[in-house]
């Protein structure tokens, strides 16, 4: 009999899978660890989902999410052929790797890897990117951000190998996660101009930022902007994200996706979301207000808080290590995220909750600092 292990591809055996934030089983925790929105979806969205929860669940959903693509196209002033909808933006990102990057041949590690096999991304940024590259047998190419998480001056690196202009796929989280730092459209445009492969601008948190880069996806044939309904639109549960970009790139993704990749209730929820944007815009303003208040409160407690353009803060806590802070907050029923990677291990990532949750966090931090 073959051993089950020997049946699994070596690449899969070696893979370090993505680690999602904890979804706790215990009730009553203040959950500030996975950047979910603290406010529920709009009442109109909940009503639309309820109204669709009937015998129709036996039917397949619209295979191309066409009404949703059309509505998104109107929102972004483009054609439906420029919209790709996925099962969360995670699926969009995974399909981009499969559609645009060649798996590396075995010798890639020994010589200069070919651009067509490179997945390039800044570090720190979304920790799924290296996993997607590994899964595909592509070559990952992490490039450090500056010490304060700004974009490095890659354009001055024309010579040498530090930045690859020929990378098949370059992934940019903008605003950045986990640091929260925002980037200007102008600096992103300069990078897009210089790249010869596909560039994905992952705007998962952009609704909380001052600037967005969507026009770059409409101006450049090799640029895709990724958006999600998860964070700003309170719909993590429904798993819907999308790309905006050139019809040829969108068509390539369409060719390799599952036939019914976007769930029916997801499509219904997103359509209703787009009919009630005013509700969400009011929430963005509340979250940004809470973010600014919490930034000041934590700074007053000697936390080194990065300026944020997102719905989370990235802060280096005083006195104890970030890892110990995470545990001390957990002991007080507050969950925040800590990453063990060397470039971010000194920081806590704190999702912006309601005002009451943010106050509870600030109070807990003050109590921890007072205790001896
Ligand atoms: C930068 C970034 N991009 C994409 C995603 C994926 O979002 P979703 O798959 O829920 O649309 C996340 C989720 O944490 C994220 O942080």
Region 313-321: mean pLDDT is 97
Cα 200 to ligand 1 centroid, rounded to whole Å: 13
133-137, 153-157, 306-310: segment of lowest average pLDDT = 153-157
The model's pLDDT over 83-103, given as tens digits with 9 standing for 90+, comes to: 999 999 999 999 999 999 999
Cα of 301 from ligand 1 centre, angstroms: 30
Residue 108, pLDDT score: 52
The four Cα atoms 210, 214, 220, 221 give a dihedral, to 10 degrees, of 150
Provide mean pLDDT across the span 327-348.
96
Task: Give the pLDDT confidence score for residue 156 in this predicted structure.
Answer: 80
CA gap 217, 198 in Å, rounded: 11
122 lines ligand 1 (CB under 6 A): no
Q: Which fold has domain 4-41+278-370?
A: 3.90.1150
In this predicted structure, which of 109-123, 138-152, 155-169, 324-338 has the lowest mean pLDDT?
155-169
pLDDT higher at 200 or 159: 200
Phi-psi region of 159 (alpha: psi -120 to 50; beta: other; left: phi over 0): beta
Evaluate: CB of 230 within 6 angstroms of ligand 1: yes
Mean pLDDT of 240-247: 98
**What pLDDT, on a 0 to 100 scale, did the predictor assign at position 162?**
83
Give the start-to-end residue ranges of the domains of the chain. 4-41+278-370, 43-276
Same CATH fold assignment for domains 4-41+278-370 and 43-276: no
- What digits encode the pLDDT tens for the residues 22-41? 888 888 899 999 999 999 99
Which atom of ligand 1 has the smallest separation from the CA of 125?
Answer: 1
Residue 110 has pLDDT above 90, yes or no: no
Note the pTM of the prediction, 2 decimals: 0.96
pLDDT at 336 over 80: yes
Nearest atom within ligand 1 for CA of residue 89: 11
Packing angle, helices 355-370 and 277-300, rounded to 10: 10
Helices (H), 211-354: 214-219, 247-256, 264-274, 277-300, 322-331
**What confidence score (pLDDT) does residue 155 get?**
81
Cβ of 268 closer than 6 Å to ligand 1, yes or no, is no
Concatenated DSSP letters of 314-365: EEE-SSS-HHHHHHHHHHTTEEEB---STTTTT-EEEE---HHHHHHHHHHH
User: Rounded mean pLDDT of the chain?
Assistant: 95
pLDDT of res. 154: 84
Query: Strand 241-244 to strand 223-228: parallel, antiparallel, or no bridges (unpaired)?
Result: antiparallel
Q: What mean pLDDT do residues 105-121 have?
A: 82
* CATH class for the domain made up of 43-276: alpha beta
Chain centroid to CA 324 = 26
φ and ψ at residue 173, rounded to 5 degrees: -85, 115
- Residues 174 and 135: their CA atoms lie apart, in Å, by 23
Q: How many whole angstroms from 91 Cα to the centroid of ligand 1? A: 10
């Amino acid at each position: 009999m073959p051993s089950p292990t020997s049946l699994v591809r070596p690449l899969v055996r070696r893979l370090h899978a993505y680690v999602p934030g904890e979804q706790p089983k215990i009730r009553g925790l203040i959950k500030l660890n996975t950047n979910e929105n603290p406010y529920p979806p709009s009442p109109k969205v909940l009503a639309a989902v309820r109204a669709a929860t009937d015998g129709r669940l036996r039917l397949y959903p619209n295979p191309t999410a066409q009404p949703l693509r059309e509505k998104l196209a109107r929102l972004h002033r483009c054609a439906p052929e420029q919209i790709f909808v996925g099962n969360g933006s995670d699926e969009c990102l995974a399909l981009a790797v499969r559609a645009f990057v060649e798996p590396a041949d075995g010798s890639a590690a020994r010589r200069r890897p070919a651009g067509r096999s490179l997945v390039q991304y800044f570090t720190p940024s979304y920790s799924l990117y290296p996993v997607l590259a590994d899964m595909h047998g592509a070559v990952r190419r992490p490039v450090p951000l500056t010490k304060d998480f700004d974009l490095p001056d890659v354009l001055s690196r024309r010579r040498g190998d530090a930045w690859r202009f020929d990378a098949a796929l370059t992934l940019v989280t903008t605003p950045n996660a986990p640091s929260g730092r925002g980037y200007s459209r102008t600096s992103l445009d300069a990078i897009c101009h210089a790249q010869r492969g596909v560039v994905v601008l992952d705007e998962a948190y952009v609704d909380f930022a001052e600037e967005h880069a969507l026009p770059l996806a409409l101006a450049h044939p090799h640029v895709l902007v990724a958006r999600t309904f998860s964070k700003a639109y309170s719909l993590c549960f429904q798993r819907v994200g999308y790309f905006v970009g050139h019809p040829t790139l969108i068509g390539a993704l369409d060719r390799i996706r599952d036939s019914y990749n976007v769930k029916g209730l997801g499509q219904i929820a997103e359509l209703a979301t787009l009919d009630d944007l005013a509700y969400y815009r009011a929430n963005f303003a509340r979250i940004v207000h809470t973010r600014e208040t919490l930034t000041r409160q934590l700074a007053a407690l000697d936390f080194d808080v990065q300026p944020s353009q997102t719905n989370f803060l990235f802060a280096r806590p005083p006195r104890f290590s970030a890892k110990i802070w995470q545990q001390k907050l957990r002991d007080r029923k507050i969950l925040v995220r800590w990453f063990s990677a060397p470039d971010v291990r000194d920081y806590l990532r704190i999702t912006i909750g309601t005002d009451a949750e943010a106050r509870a966090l600030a109070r807990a931090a003050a109590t921890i600092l007072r205790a001896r």
